[in-house]
């Protein structure tokens, strides 16, 4: 078998970033690399954008300066995945990522309605394999938050899943004592 036939089809993180360097992808192109495939993101509906802002405000209020909150920025989640989660809480400060995007996160949040299957299946596996400590899906369809904990890196799954409703509070695993009211993540509910 030749070396060329042994290569996995699709893009690596390195070849993905090379597309931008060559001008084939622009900074404002709404795409991300998921398991070697460049996936286009649809335009954001007002509710989606509003919820991202609410989650951002709630996270910053709860964790303060104990970590950095990144909004829709690249996360090096493996050799063939560079998702741009709606929010990622990463160790350190913004200056720590001046020369390279983070390769892990303490918490990743995706806001989802139409993208629920992809966020539950594809992205949860990517984030688990990357060792993301905690993964939330802010589920707009059911108005609840799905919380995935205890990543099993080898099997690419989370060992624990919880669902929290509008009347509940969440305490991010990496920030004991930080409380976030689920209702604060859903504007107007």
pTM here is 0.92
One pLDDT digit (tens) per residue for the chain, 189 residues? 444 445 667 999 999 999 989 999 987 889 999 999 999 988 889 999 999 999 999 999 999 999 999 999 999 999 999 999 999 999 999 999 999 999 999 999 999 998 999 999 999 999 999 999 999 999 999 999 999 999 999 999 999 999 999 999 999 999 999 999 999 999 887
The answer for residues whose C-beta is within 8 angstroms of residue 24's C-beta and 6 or more apart is: none
Considering the chain, what percentage of its residues have pLDDT values greater than 90? 86
Per-residue confidence (pLDDT) for residue 7, from 0 to 100: 66
What superfamily does domain 43-185 belong to in CATH? tt1808, chain A (3.90.1570.10)
- Sheet containing 144-152, strands listed edge to edge, beginning at the edge strand earlier in sequence: 68-71, 87-90, 107-112, 134-139, 144-152, 157-164
Indicate the helix (H) or strand (E) that contains 42.
none
pLDDT tens sequence across 140-185: 999 999 999 999 999 999 999 999 999 999 999 999 999 999 999 9
Q: Would you list the domain boundaries of the chain?
A: 43-185
Q: What Cα–Cα distance (Å) separates residue 81 from each residue in 8, 31, 41, 122, 183?
A: 13, 12, 15, 10, 32
Asked if residue 31 lies in contact with residue 81, where contact means CB atoms within 8 angstroms, the answer is no
């Amino acid at each position: 078998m030749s070396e060329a036939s042994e290569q996995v089809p699709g893009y690596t993180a390195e070849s993905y970033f090379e597309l931008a360097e060559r001008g084939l992808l622009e900074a404002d192109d709404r795409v991300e690399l998921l398991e070697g495939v460049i996936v286009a993101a649809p335009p954001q509906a007002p509710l989606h954008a509003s919820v991202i802002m609410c989650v951002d405000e709630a996270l910053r209020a709860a964790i303060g300066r104990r970590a950095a909150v990144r909004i829709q920025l690249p996360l090096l989640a493996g050799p063939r995945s560079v998702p741009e989660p709606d929010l990622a809480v990463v160790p350190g400060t913004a200056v720590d990522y001046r020369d390279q995007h983070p390769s892990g996160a303490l918490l990743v949040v995706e806001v989802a309605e139409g993208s629920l299957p992809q966020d539950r299946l594809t992205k949860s596996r990517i984030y688990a394999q990357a060792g993301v400590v905690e993964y939330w899906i802010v589920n707009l369809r059911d108005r609840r938050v799905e919380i995935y904990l205890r990543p099993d890196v080898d099997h690419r799954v989370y060992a624990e899943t919880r669902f929290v409703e509008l009347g509940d509070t969440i305490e991010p695993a990496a920030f004991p004592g930080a409380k976030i009211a689920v209702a604060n993540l859903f504007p107007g509910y």
